[in-house]
Each structure stands twice: as C-alpha cells, then as structure tokens.
Chains A and B, each alone.
Chain A
Amino acid sequence: MSLHAQLALTRGSFSLELALDAPAGQTVALVGPNGSGKSTLVEALAGLLPIDSGEITLDGAVLERPGDGIRVRPQQRPVGVSFQGLWLFPQLSVRDNVAYGPMATGTPRQAARAGVQELLKRLDLVALAQRRPAELSGGEAQRVALARALALRPRLLLLDEPLSALDIEARPRMRALLHELLAEFPGPRLLITHEPLEALLLADHVVVLEHGRVVQAGTTAELRSRPQTRYAATLSGVNLLSGTLEADGSGWLLRTAGPALRVLPEQPTPGAALHATVHPAAVRLLEPGTPAGEATSWTTRVESVELHDDRVRVRLADPPGFVAELELEDARRFGPGTEVRAWLPAKALSVYPRMVP
C-alpha cells in the first residue's frame, strides 16, 4: 500500500530524475525552489506527462513503465489532484464542480449531485453549493478543489501548493483543515510546497528537490537537524557552511570557502567532507579587532539589516547569505556597510557528514 516512483523525463532543457516512496497513511512533502521540477512531477504522477524511463506503481499496480510499454491514462489512474491555481470549472456550480468526476465516469447527474453531499458537508461547502467559482474567496475555492479531487475516492492524493491561493490571514485555518483531511485520507499523499512551515507542519517526510534531483529526503526532524543544501537549511532557518576537516593543534578546523571554523566533531576523520550549521541567534557580532579566544571569528561587513518582530536579522557580506539574529538593542549600531567581527562558539556549530557532493 504505497506509491513507488523511480522515473526520468526530459522536457526541453529541463530533466527530472528521481526516486520517491510514499507509504500509505503518510504525508510526504515535496519542497524545492521554483523551477525545481515539483509541478512536473505532479503531472508525471497524474499521467499528464509521459515519463521516459523508470516506473510508477501504486499499491503494487503499475501505472507506468515505458520499458514494457505500460502507460495507464490519466483518466484511469486512481489519483486525486489539486493543481496549483486550482482550475475550478468556471461555468459549473460548486456542487457540479465537486460532482464532475462522478458524472464524467458514468454516475447519472442527480445521483452524482446527491452523492457529493457528504463531501460538501465535510468541507463546509453546503451553503456555497449553488455558487459559481467566480463568487468564492480563495479559501472557499481551495476547499472546492480539494473536495473535487476527493470525490472519486482516489488512492493517491497530490496537492500542489494548496495554500498558495489564500491570503496570509486565511492560511492557519486552512492548514488546520488540511491537516485533518490528510489524516483521514488512507492512501499516500504528496504535498508540494515551497513554504517550509507548511512542509514541517503537515508532513511526516520531506523530500527536497533541486534542479530536478532529490538532494535530501528524510523525516522533518532529520531535515531540520541535518540539512544537506543551502536551500534545505533555509527551510529550518539555519546558516549552512560546508568544508573539509583538518587537525589544528589539539582541536579541529573546518576549512570552508569562507572562514575556517573551529568545530567539535564527534568522530573526527581528517579530510572528511562535513556540513556545519549554526542558528542565527547563536552568532555574535563584535567590534572589529576584539580578541576571539578559542572561538571562530572573522571580520566582514554588514550587507543588510531587517526587522523580524522584536528580533533583527543582520545579513553579512561574507560568507554570502550568512545571517546573525540579534536583540533589538544589540543591533542599533549596525547598518549596511558597518565593519564587524562575527563570533561563533564551537558549541554552537553542529557538524555532520556531507551526503550531496
């Protein structure tokens, strides 16, 4: 009872090549920057885009295996899809949008309309049943798209950016509803998102896709503690530096493209390729020339200063994208261009093996 996909496809200059397993009863979040191939994967799994090689199986049944000439058409796949942008049928009422699947597959009109009543109730759409999509709010339209995708009782659920049509204020409620719906759905469900919070809150597993390849897969906890790429690190809001380990007197030094970091590896091997993460709040910014003692420290400039609630995020010029988070009163003296000395205690750096070359 699971989705198994191992596929390759090329579309113009873009290629998607990945293996993905989603067990029944679990939510797998697929995250990645724009253009990483998330929506292409949705199209491939739904059968809208043929794969070049590999196979897609659902509950052991082959949906597609080009090697053997097997390709189940989208109409025959038990896959429910909520597309990014929703794409409700504009000329149909809410009820008829939801009943579209049953009607298209042979259920008589009246029976189909009656048959979706439970679903409309579950998604709180009964009062809106006669409305047209143009008369709905973003959240309402999203609920219709979900109901429509569920109406044929699919065995795999694909949700592409289910919260993107919503205002920021409307998201928490929808996220809670989504959480319930996902839990009720017995089969595997795939949630595509570029919002880290969404992935961490709704999913059991997270797969990070970049340039059409899986760069990291694991539980949300693993992803948070050991991100493998810069993008994955931004999901949990930490700074990621990578380098090679070398001995330095009694301690260890991680040589990166930027500063050399004093680290405390658990099982040190000289020459090992490691990642190091540090939470922005653990970074201190000092006057240039302040003695650093045993900690890592380097001199650079402030690139930008942003306010986040009562904290201040100071972005440094070197290494690019490196962020320090300060209390409001500590940040007063920093502006773009200020020369500073960044200071990190070895204990604040978490080091682990690098898996992605």
Chain B
Amino acid sequence: MNARWVGLALWLAVLTGLALLVLPLLGLLARAPWSETAALLTSRTVQQALLLSLVVSAAAVALSLAVGFPLAWLVARRSFPGRRVLRTLLTLPMVLPPVVAGVALLAAFGERGLLGGALAAFGVRVPFTTLAAVLAAAFVAAPFLIATLEAGIAQTERRLEDVAATLGASRWHAFRTVLLPAIRPSLLAGIALCWARALGEFGATITFAGNLEGRTQTVPLAIYQTLQTRPEQAFLLGAILLLISLCLLAGLRGGRFAA
C-alpha cells in the first residue's frame, strides 16, 4: 500500500478518535447554560445531590482502601492456591455491567439475599439507604484501586523490606518508610481512578440503592432525573460533574495531567 494512504488513514483514525472521545465533552460544555449556574447551585435538590456524591464517593474510596490494600498486598506478595482465581474475581466488577452489579448486591444484601436475612435479624436494612449507595460505588470502583496498587506492590522489590527488617525496622515502620514511598505513584493513581469511577457510578446505585432524593440520589442520578424534565439543567449539572472529575484526576496525579 502507498505510504501516503497509510498516513492519511492514520490521521483519519486520530481525528475520529478525538471526535468520539472529546466532542461529547466539548458539546456538554458548550450547551450547558452557564448563566443559570448560581440558580442551579442554590436548588436544594442539587445541593443535596452534590453533597451526597461527595460523601458517597469519599466513603467508597475509604472503604476500597481499607479492604483493597490488604487484598492487593496478598495477591502481589503471597503465593497460595487460588491466587489467580482471586485476582480474576477482584477485577471482575470492572467488566461487569453496573446494573448486574446492582442486582448482585441485592442478591447478597437484599431482604431475601444471602446475608440480608442475617442483617435483618439485627435490624439492619441495607438496600435503598446511603450505605447501599456507598457499597454500590465501592463494589464497582475498588477493583481500579486494587489492580493499580497490586502492580505497584509487585514492582517493589521485597528485598528492600528484608533489608529494613535486618536494620531493626518493625513491619509497620518498614511499610511506612520503604513500601509506601515506593508505591506512592500507584497509590495516588489508584485513588484517582477509584474516586472518579465512584463519582460517576449510576447503574449499580439506582438498582441497589434506588433514586431517593437526599438519601441515595447522587449527581449522576440527579442528572438522569433532570434530563427527563429540564434537559438544559441536566447539561449544566453534567458539565459541573465533568469539571469536578477533572479536578480530582489532575489533583491526585500531581499535575501530570496538566503537563
């Protein structure tokens, strides 16, 4: 084939890719009625949704960190039977349709779910609560954190921790002074991805937690609802969520995005 044609085809692919990935975002920013921002932000529904989004996504990240760090360490550092199966299971939610994740969560924590009955006995009802929104967001977002962390831990040579041990460092001290600095970039990237995913979570949340204003209605759910009645406001709310996500990624990746 002619080299010129190859070049042309490549350029065409690049432009199509840009159109596909960037055009919708530009469209959102262009169509958002920015003059209504002040009015929108003072609306009680929107304020509640924004606050809820922030709280739910932050809680989901915290939960992901708490359970994800030990899991990532286990998969990266220990060899045991079933390690590969565990690793696959941990990444499965990444490829699962979110609505399936929501149904699965219902099957586990719902009234007739695997754990639901036991929880109900203690008077705990999970579905359609803020806690359910947090669980849904954590379920779909934690794999991003775990996978990134696992790669970071696996790349860090174990020998450095051995050296620290021979120098009298407790496990905790070695973790703080050797492993943590070494995996800092992975940790920040993992948190950024996890947070962004949690912030954008929709399908699992609406299935498992419902769309209850002030309790489970996060910004994506609010956008969905607004779109049916006042589409222009939905554009604005979408644009605001886009900016928040962008700030989050840029902030956590330490300016590497801006550069």
- Point out residues on A near B: beta carbons under 8 Å: 43, 46-48, 73-77, 79-81, 83, 85, 87, 89-91, 100-101, 104-105, 148-149, 151-152
Please name 21 pairs of A and B residues whose Cβ atoms are closer than 8 Å in the assembled complex, sorted by A.
A47-B165, A74-B165, A75-B166, A75-B168, A75-B169, A80-B166, A81-B163, A83-B159, A85-B159, A87-B162, A87-B163, A91-B182, A100-B167, A100-B169, A101-B168, A101-B169, A104-B167, A104-B169, A105-B167, A149-B166, A152-B167
Partner of B178, one of A75, A76, A85, A89: A89
Interface set of B (CB-CB < 8 Å, partner A) = 157, 159-160, 162-170, 173-174, 177-178, 181-182
**Given A83-B159, A87-B159, residue A104 in contact with residue B166 (CB < 8 A):** no
The minimal Cβ–Cβ distance linking A320 to chain B, given in whole angstroms, is 37
**Cα(A75)–Cα(B182), bound, Å:** 21
With A48-B165, A74-B166, A77-B166 as known contacts, state yes or no: A104 contacts B160, CB within 8 Å: no
A105-B166 Cα distance, complex, nearest whole Å: 11
Contact: B168 with A152, CB < 8 Å? yes
**A100 touching B166 by the CB < 8 A rule?**
no
Chain A's closest residue to B170 (CB) is A75
How many inter-chain contacts with C-beta < 8 Å in the A-B complex? Answer: 63
Q: Which residue of A lies closest to B173 (CB)?
A: A104
Q: Which residues of B contact A152 (CB under 8 A)?
A: 167-168
Please indicate the chain A residues that have their CB under 8 angstroms from the CB of B169 in the complex.
75, 100-101, 104-105
Contact A75 B165 (CB under 8 A): yes
Task: State in angstroms the CA–CA spacing of A105 and B169 once bound together.
Answer: 6
- Give the CA-CA distance A90 to B169 in the complex, in Å: 17
B177 and A104 form a contact (CB under 8 A): yes
Closest chain B residue to A101 by CB distance?
Answer: B167
Complex Cα–Cα for A79 and B163 (A): 11
Assembly CA distance A47 to B165 (angstroms)? 9
Specify which chain A residues have a CB less than 8 angstroms from the CB of B165 in the assembled complex. Answer: 47-48, 73-75
Q: What chain A residues lie within 8 Å of B160 (beta carbons)?
A: 87, 89
Q: Is the CB of A105 within 8 A of B168?
A: yes
- Whether A83 contacts B163 by the Cβ 8 Å rule is yes
In angstroms, Cα B168 to Cα A47, docked, is 12
Give bound CA distance, A91 to B182, whole Å: 8
Give the shortest distance, in Å, between B184 (CB) and chain A (any CB).
9
Question: B160's closest neighbor in chain A, by CB?
Answer: A87
Which residues from chain B contact A76 at a C-beta distance below 8 Å?
A: 168
Given A91-B182, A152-B168, the answer on whether A100 and B162 have CB atoms closer than 8 Å is no
Verify B182–A83 contact, CB threshold 8 A.
no
Chain B residue numbers with a CB within 8 Å of A85 are 159
- A46-B166, A47-B166, A79-B166 are known; give 20 further A-B pairs, CB within 8 A: A46-B162, A47-B165, A73-B165, A74-B162, A74-B166, A75-B166, A76-B168, A80-B166, A83-B159, A83-B163, A87-B163, A89-B164, A91-B182, A100-B167, A104-B167, A104-B170, A104-B173, A104-B177, A105-B168, A152-B168
Please give the distance in Å from B185's CB to the nearest CB on chain A: 12
Q: Assuming A83-B159, A104-B173, is B166 touching A91 (CB within 8 A)?
A: no
**Which chain B residue lies CB-closest to A75?**
B168
Could you tell me the distance in whole angstroms from the C-beta of A124 to the nearest C-beta in chain B? 21
